Structure formats: structure tokens, C-alpha cells
Amino acid sequence: MTDSVDLVMLPARGGPSLPQERRLVTEIPGPQSVALFARRNEAVARGVSTMLPVFITAAGGGVLVDVDGNSLIDFGAGIAVVSVGNAAEQVVAEVIDQVAAFTHTCFMITPYEGYVAVCEQLNARTPGDFPKKSALFNSGAEAVENAVKIARAFTGRSAVVVFEHAYHGRTNLTMALTAKNMPYKHSFGPFAPEVYRLPMAYPYRWPTGPENCGPEAAAAAISAMKTQVGVDEIAAVLIEPIQGEGGFIVPGEGFLPALSQFCTENGIVFIADEIQTGFARTGEMFAVSHENVVPDLIATAKGIAGGLPLSAVTGRADIMDAAHVGGLGGTYGGNPVACAAALGAMHTIDELDLVGRARDIEAIMAPRLRELAGRFACVGDVRGRGAMLAVEIVKPGTTDPDAATTSAIAKACHAAGVVVLTAGTYGNVLRFLPPLVIPDHLLREGLDVLEEAFAASTKAS
Ligand SMILES: *Cc1c(COP(=O)(O)O)cnc(C)c1O
């Protein structure tokens, strides 16, 4: 035994040096995971769910390694969080330095440079050629809530416009902003007032066809804002540039630009919730850039800090400064260790060109998913951008959602060692959001497994 341990010198237990392979040595879940899951059920509240009861001991690159020694291909990245990879080298190094220096002072008491540096990075990286400021928080929901607070303070108005299929979080205000009742809202009301939900530009389900979706949905939304909500009442329009939990819905072309323009013309703060789409995920640093939309405020979290809890609101300096001194904050917001991780993650995004890598992933995955659509009649739609791709599963010959088949396919993937997630208001979307550092051979192998899962769970057309 040594009395002083230099953490940096310990052999890496996770991170990019883990063998990049799918390796199953037990059933999934294995006996150790089963035992831990029994403990979990005794100790952890029922409301906190688990998709795949496999307990992880190490992760990195494109794999998750479990307590039984299985190595699973990761197509989920902890819900688009570890885009730079789990235990990414630069994130680990920055965190170790910071955690050994100090762990917390509270930025509202005595500040530190890391917080300022993260804000500078956000101000520089987000779209918009105007002076910007940022504020840091802990979770995505908290960022969304604060964006709404800031928009209300700036406009002196109270209404917030959101959309069908939207997901913005689980706190009281963000439950109100979220569309789906079960499991997010059921039995948890009453909800915050002054939230107005408008139809979403959902191309696959647009009555007059996907090509008409963007302009028609924008016209409908603008008409509803004028006639039902009242333009002068609206503080903010809040939207995910690609809806995440709602089913990876890419709004019909033109929808986002039209909403953004309407907001600009009417003194409404346009807030992009880029919590799932941000930081290289979609093949742009931020997904609004696919349609050259420049939001007034952007909420970020998930991919921001390589797995540490951090979130932010960034936007026009005059709007950001509308909240009075002391009106924004929180004990842990912009924690120094999380800020160090964010700086490491941003460095990694640049160094490994993960924006370009997200496009490469799309180039590998999207054609394979479209092949599936040709072979299996249950595939209603293939969509997404970059490394944020999905297939929507329906009853063959209809557009009726088929959640049971979706779940069967996901379970077959899990049993074969590939972590895929589901999503969607109707629970009928398989979504793929691998770490951007996943090697090509694992992407291909995961897609092979997916194809076998389709074959086993459905009838080929
Ligand atoms: C995950 C998510 C949130 C909520 O983030 P939390 O960190 O879970 O609070 C909000 N909006 C979007 C688009 C998300 O994907």
C-alpha cells in the first residue's frame, strides 16, 4: 500500500481506452445486475424508473461495461449527455484538477474563473452576432425555468407558448410546459398557469402532407397566437429545434424561421430548448443553425459537460440583464467541478471535430435505417439529423402507432447487448443518439443487431 495515491496515475477504468467491443458473457441482465436490481427496488423510490436493469461499472467510447463483465454497445449516451464519450480524457483531467483544488464556494458568495470561462464559451459558440450573456444552473429543467423567468422580466408579459409533443422537464413549471401526461404529469398537478400549447409541425402526421407542414403549421400557430393567446400577452415562444422525448420530430421546413420572425416582429422572446440537440449532436453546434435561426435565448444542458450536471441560459445581453440583481442563481449553479468538465468537453468537441463526426454518424446510420424502412412495413418514418436519428413504428399499412412492437424491438436489442432508447408521445419511436466518439465498427454492429431485432419482432414486408 502507498500512503499517497496520485489519482491521475491510476490505470484508466473507463474512458476511451476500454476495449471497443460488444461482449456478452451472461444473459442480459446478468446475475450480479439482477441481485443489485433487487436491492435497488428495496431502497429506491418506485417513481424513478429504469429502462434496462444492467448495472454499469465502466464506460467509454461506444461501450458500457456491466458488473457481470458484459460490454454493451451504447446507442443512448445517457440521453445525449456523454456526446464526448464517457469519462472523456480531457473531462477527467479537468475534473481531477478542479476537485483537488476546491469543490464549491457558491458563485453567489465568492466567484471563480471556471464559471466565467464557461459563460464566455457559451456566448461565443451560440448563434447570433450580438452581445450575449449567460447564467449557469444544474439541470435542463432549471435552465428552461430560468429562461422563462428572464423572458417575463424582460417583456413584462406572462404567457408562454409551447407545442404539442414538447418535453421541457419535470419541475412544476416545466411539467406545465411539457405535453405528455403519462408519466410526466399524471397525479402531479395543479400546474403553473399562462402556458399555451399550439399544434406542432410534425411532418409525418401533417394532414396535407410533409411538404406543406412547415408553412401551414406556422400559419396556424401565428393565427392562434394572435386570436387566442393575444400577442401582447406573450413573453416567450419556447421550442425544441428537434423534439427529443416527443419522438425526434424535426419540424417541417420553415416552421422555426417563421416562428422566430414572428417573435422578433412582436417583441416576443424566442427561446430554443437545445438541451438535447445542443453541442454537436445534430451535426451543427446547435440545431437551430440547420435553418439559420438565431434565438433570443438558448437553454442548454445534457451534452454541455461530458456527464457532470450543468445547464445554462445564453442569449441577448439586454434580455439576460433584465432580471434584477439576485433574481437568478442557486446554491450549486455553475459548480466549479461541473464548469471544469464543461471546459474539457468543449475542448474535446473542437479537438475531435465532433460536429463533423455527428455528420459522419448520420452518413453511416441513416441509409441503414432507410433500408429497414424498405424491408419492414412497420417503419412509418425515418428522421433526425446528425447523430440524433429515429424510426417511428406503426401498424403496417397505417399510421397507427405501435408501441408494443417498438418495445419488443428495443428489448431484443437490449438482450443482444445494444442499448437503444424509445421515445414519442405514443411510445412508438426508437431513437439513436450514440456518443459521438463511437467507432464505426460498433455503429455497424449495433445496426446489424437492430436489423435482427426487427426481423425477430416483426414480419418483413
Ligand atoms: C432532458 C431535457 C430537459 C430536462 O433536462 P433535465 O436535466 O432532465 O432537467 C428539457 N428539455 C429537453 C429538450 C430535454 O431533452
Tens-digit pLDDT string for the chain (461 aa):
344 444 434 444 899 999 999 999 999 999 999 999 999 999 999 999 999 999 999 999 999 999 999 999 999 999 999 999 999 999 999 999 999 999 999 999 999 999 999 999 999 999 999 999 999 999 999 999 999 999 999 999 999 999 999 999 999 999 999 999 999 999 999 999 999 999 999 999 999 999 999 999 999 999 999 999 999 999 999 999 999 999 999 999 999 999 999 999 999 999 999 999 999 999 999 999 999 999 999 999 999 999 999 999 999 999 999 999 999 999 999 999 999 999 999 999 999 999 999 999 999 999 999 999 999 999 999 999 999 999 999 999 999 999 999 999 999 999 999 999 999 999 999 999 999 999 999 999 999 999 999 999 986 55
Q: Which of 168, 279, 425 to probe ligand 1 with, by most ligand atoms within 8 A of CB?
A: 168
Q: What is the pLDDT of residue 1?
A: 39
Q: Facing residues of 272 across strands? A: 239, 298
Sign of CA dihedral 188, 194, 195, 198: positive
Strands 56-60 and 63-66 turn out to be antiparallel
Taking the CA atoms of residue 246, residue 252, residue 257 and residue 260 in that order, the dihedral angle to the nearest 10 degrees is: -30
Grid coordinates representing 266 are 412582436
CA distance from start to end of the chain: 63
In this structure, the residue with its CA closest to atom 11 of ligand 1 is 168
**Do the beta carbons of residue 28 and residue 415 sit within 8 Å?**
yes
Are 161 and 155 contacting, i.e. CB atoms less than 8 angstroms apart? no
Q: Which residues pair with 376 in a beta bridge?
A: 460
Give the domain ranges of the chain: 15-74+354-457, 91-351
CATH superfamily, domain at 15-74+354-457:
Aspartate Aminotransferase, domain 1 (3.90.1150.10)
Task: Give the number of the atom of ligand 1 that is nearest the alpha carbon of residue 170.
Answer: 9
Give the residue whose CA is nearest to atom 15 of ligand 1. 276
> Which three three-digit cell numbers place residue 250?
424535426
Q: What pLDDT is recorded for position 12?
A: 46
Q: Residue 218, Cβ neighbours under 10 Å: how many?
A: 21
Q: How far is residue 63's CA from residue 200's CA, in Å, rounded to a whole number?
A: 35
Ligand 1: lining residues by beta carbon, under 6 Å: 139-141, 144, 167-169, 240, 244, 273, 275-276, 301-302
Distance 312 CA to ligand 1 centre (A): 12
The closest alpha carbon to 195, from 223, 222, 216, 168, belongs to 168
Q: What is the dihedral of CA 216, 217, 222, 227, to 10 degrees?
A: 90
Q: In what order do the strands lie in the sheet with 379-385?
A: 379-385, 388-393, 429-432, 421-423
Ligand 1 center from residue 144 Cα (angstroms): 8
**The two domains 15-74+354-457 and 91-351 share their CATH topology (first three levels equal):** no
Query: How many angstroms separate the alpha carbon of residue 276 from the centre of ligand 1?
Result: 7
Closest residue by Cα to atom 8, ligand 1, is: 140
Residue 428's identity, in one-letter code, is N
CATH 3.40.640.10 for domain 91-351, yes or no, is yes
pTM check: above 0.75:
yes
Which atom number of ligand 1 is nearest to the Cα of residue 245?
15
